[in-house]
Amino acid sequence: MNSVDYIVETINRLPKGYVFTYADFVAEVNRKEAIIKALNRLAVSGKISKLSKGKFYKPENSTFGMLPPNQSQIVKDLLERNGKLIGYLTGYSIYNQLGLTTQVSNSIQIGKIEVRPTFKRGNYTISFVRQKNTITKDNIPLLQILDAIRYIKKIPDCNPQGVCKRLFVIIKALKEKDKNTLIRLALKYPPATRALLGALLDTIGKKVLTELLYKSLNHISIYKLEGVNKILPTAVKWHIT
């Protein structure tokens, strides 16, 4: 089998929306130039689509046109390295999944311990937020909740009151051990995040869990979040006005 046939056969076995580079073929085809040339020809023919320089994917057609890859595929090289998690999706796409906003965006935000400047990948803008906690598969959903609390004022198409109502439902549904983990992870977040999480948990009826959060705060500080005290009766205790 020649190199082009091997590349085509390999791509045929890939799922729709899978993002790949020439590096996915170097084990069998050791001529980088031949791989790049073959992939570019396939992109021109429409067999595959080009995401950005050196990155391609298998297109999936729908009644609304060609579907882009999902965001985890677009930035998978920024989420995992050598089988180890180094980042996770956060920002607009996650706020949408959590039911905090109906808006979608071409902006992809990633939480990482080590961040880098914002850059473009095809039609997407990739930006980063620093995550001080160790990232694990189990704690990513909890980190995403904490990110939503931290950036509550930046969530589009919804006011803080509406976001708090939805977060109340999400956090209330968590298992007890996850609520405890949420508090532990929150200790590495800014004070305003800890205060709002404390107010949410107190309102849920978990005051016994929030002592650690309360002790971590400087009680001279005031956290401005207009209207939240109307739906979180304990907001005043947490100096949220």
The domain spans of the chain are 3-67, 71-230
Reported confidence tier of residue 1, pLDDT bands at 50, 70, 90: low
Residue 27 has pLDDT above 70, yes or no: no
Reported confidence tier of residue 61, pLDDT bands at 50, 70, 90: confident
Amino acid (1-letter code) at residue 229: N
The mean per-residue pLDDT over the stretch 85-111 comes to 95
Phi, psi of 124 (to 5 degrees): -105, 140
Residue 60 has pLDDT above 90, yes or no: no
Q: Specify the range with the lowest mean pLDDT, choosing from 36-40, 64-68, 81-85, 215-219.
A: 64-68
Tokens (6 digits) for 66: 């060609």
Nearest residue to 146 (alpha-carbon basis) of 86, 90, 230, 199:
90
Residue 68 has pLDDT above 90, yes or no: no
Q: Which residue bears the tokens 């080590």?
A: 114
| pLDDT at res. 228 | 93
CATH, range 3-67: 1.10.10.10
The mean per-residue pLDDT over the stretch 59-81 comes to 89
Cα distance between residue 213 and residue 106, in whole Å: 35
Q: Return all residues near 163 (Cβ < 8 A) that are at least 6 apart.
A: 100, 148, 152, 155
Cα distance between residue 217 and residue 236, in whole Å: 14
Cα distance between residue 158 and residue 68, in whole Å: 26
Q: Return all residues near 119 (Cβ < 8 A) that are at least 6 apart.
A: 125, 126
Q: Is 59 exposed, middle or buried (0-12, 13-18, 19+ CB in 10 A)?
A: middle
| pLDDT at res. 187 | 97
Find residue 84's DSSP bridge partners: 81
The mean per-residue pLDDT over the stretch 103-128 comes to 94
At 50 the three-state DSSP class reads: strand
| pLDDT at res. 28 | 60
Q: Return all residues near 213 (Cβ < 8 A) that are at least 6 apart.
A: 183, 186, 187, 194, 195, 197, 198, 201
Reported confidence tier of residue 215, pLDDT bands at 50, 70, 90: very high
The mean per-residue pLDDT over the stretch 143-161 comes to 95
| pLDDT at res. 66 | 81
